[in-house]
Amino acid sequence: MNVKIVFSDIDGTFLTTDHRVTDKTEYAVNRLLNQNIPFVLVSARMPEAIYPITDKLGIKIPIISYSGGLVLTESEEILYSKTIEARLATAIINAIDQRWSQVTINYYSGRRWFVRDVKDKRVKREERITSAAAVNADFNELLEIGMLPNKILTMSEPADCEEMERELSRMFPELNVVRSSDILLEIMDKSVSKATGIKVMLEHYGFASEDALGFGDNYNDIEMFKYVGRGVAMGNAPEPIKKIVRDVTDSNDAGGIYTYLVKNGVIDALDE
């Protein structure tokens, strides 16, 4: 297999269920980098929720944040940034407040995360998982000063998340509304997807889409799977996701990235 660059989702793919990096996954990344094969994390997370992971591993790599809305080089240079225009951000926040007031809204702009209540238990849980820190803010005031969101995220119960995805997609065709888990709904500009971020990164390196391998586990990885030369679903992915890719590997907890790369001869096996 001729792979020139590897892209990977984070939660449910690169990280285990308890948010760790397995020894096999860490080894796989280092082997790729030693072979001058770029490894790029592609996530709905903000940069400040990705860098603690790479810092712990002692690596400097490019990242695609906000599911393609913000693309950074390994030196943290911005290659691409796409925000939601003010009128749409205002409209969708108001729609959520009016119909689903029980959900938690998060407002991400650049490398900052804003919420209405930093003590919200859902916000505290996300802080524990990501190591990023939320800041209290009035969303209308942010919009008035031109601090537009790269992403709006809702945290809710699964039934509300599914309903919001369906209804908000219908109400706001100008926006990309997609679940990244059963409780998280990601909202970006319509032009944004993991595929758009990958396209920017491939152009940066001078690679073609067929040179790329992509690992993922959920619905917001579908565009990535369709765009890269070969998409690989993790063993823990929902069945509908597994059905749209050519290959399925082991679960995230079993080090599925490592398993696939070794099986296909991209890296050597770890001595055990």
Among 9, 11, 217, 221, the one annotated catalytic: 9
Is 9 one of the annotated active-site residues of the chain? yes
Q: Which residues pair with 148 in a beta bridge?
A: none
3-state SS string for the chain:
CCCCEEEECHHHHHCCCCCCCCHHHHHHHHHHHHCCCCEEEECCCCHHHCHHHHHHHCCCCCEEEHHHCEEECCCCCEEEECCCCHHHHHHHHHHHHHHCCCCEEEEEECCEEEECCCCCHHHHHHHHHHCCCCEECCHHHHHHCCCCCCEEEEECCHHHHHHHHHHHHHHCCCEEEEECCCCEEEEEECCCCHHHHHHHHHHHHCCCHHHEEEEECCHHHHHHHHHCCEEEECCCCCHHHHCCCCEECCCCCCCHHHHHHHHCCCCCCCCC
- Active-site annotation, residues: 9
